[in-house]
Amino acid sequence: GAFQNPPKHIAQLFHEVIETKYKKSFKYIVFAIIDDHNAKKNHNPIGNVQPFAEIFQANILSIDELREQLRNTEF
């Protein structure tokens, strides 16, 4: 991940904090994660995006897919 942090561990940390402290605070939380030049190296062989999708049990969306989904979402 960014700064060579292990993406799965970072995803777990975010998930724990959101579930314990902010579960009812936000209707939506969006993570903008890219597979950059550090992706798919020894510290993150499956990249930066996939671990977040697995930990949060969420779909991976392209920016166009996200835009379309947001058009149909009531805030």
Q: What are the boundaries of each domain within the chain? A: 2-71
Tens digit of pLDDT for each residue in 18-64? 999 999 999 889 899 988 887 888 878 899 999 999 999 999 998 89
Cα separation, 15 vs 27, in Å, equals: 15
Q: Is 58 helix (H, G, I), strand (E, B) or coil?
A: coil
Residue 56, amino acid: F
pTM above 0.85, yes or no: no
Alpha helices of 22-72 — where are they, by DSSP H?
49-56, 63-71
Give the model's pLDDT for residue 44: 80
pLDDT at 1 over 80: no
